[in-house]
């Protein structure tokens, strides 16, 4: 038969293990999603006009000269998502038309 103090120590150890595992899971999930985001909090992605590349712009601000907003519903959210892959070979021209990225860009 086990003593009360042994059972208490086992319960405490299990509780601490559960707390540590939960904290580790939450921290790794947060850092994973933050690392994968196209832009940081409070920003949105924009793409270079007639060129490859992009940038992040503070919410509420207009894109700088030479950049444009992604067409509605076609903005990448995370690195490697379907829209990130799509825009790796395309951009928009000065009229907002989707075009292939020019050679050498």
User: Distance (Å, rounded) from C-alpha 84 to C-alpha 77?
Assistant: 8
Q: Is the pLDDT of residue 1 over 80?
A: no
Half-sphere exposure of 53 (CA within 13 A, CB side): 9
pTM of this structure: 0.64
Query: Averaged over 94-103, what is the pLDDT?
Result: 93
DSSP code at position 38: S
Q: How far is CA 105 from the centre of its chain?
A: 25
User: Distance (Å, rounded) from C-alpha 11 to C-alpha 21?
Assistant: 15
Residue-wise pLDDT for 17-27, tens only, equals 544 555 555 55
Half-sphere exposure of 29 (CA within 13 A, CB side): 6
Residues in the chain: 105
User: Distance (Å, rounded) from C-alpha 47 to C-alpha 56?
Assistant: 9
Residue-wise pLDDT for 41-98, tens only, equals 999 999 999 999 999 999 999 999 999 999 999 999 999 999 999 999 999 999 999 9
What local confidence, expressed as pLDDT, does residue 61 receive?
97
């Amino acid at each position: 038969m086990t003593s009360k103090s042994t059972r208490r120590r086992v319960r405490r150890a299990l509780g601490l293990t559960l707390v540590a595992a939960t904290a580790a899971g939450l921290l790794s999930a947060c850092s994973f999603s933050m690392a994968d985001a196209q832009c940081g909090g409070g920003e949105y992605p924009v793409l270079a006009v007639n060129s490859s590349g992009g940038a992040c712009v503070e919410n509420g601000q207009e894109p700088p000269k030479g950049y444009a907003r992604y067409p509605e519903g076609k903005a990448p959210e995370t690195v490697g998502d379907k829209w990130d892959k799509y825009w790796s070979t395309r951009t928009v021209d000065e009229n907002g038309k989707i075009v292939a990225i020019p050679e050498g860009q």
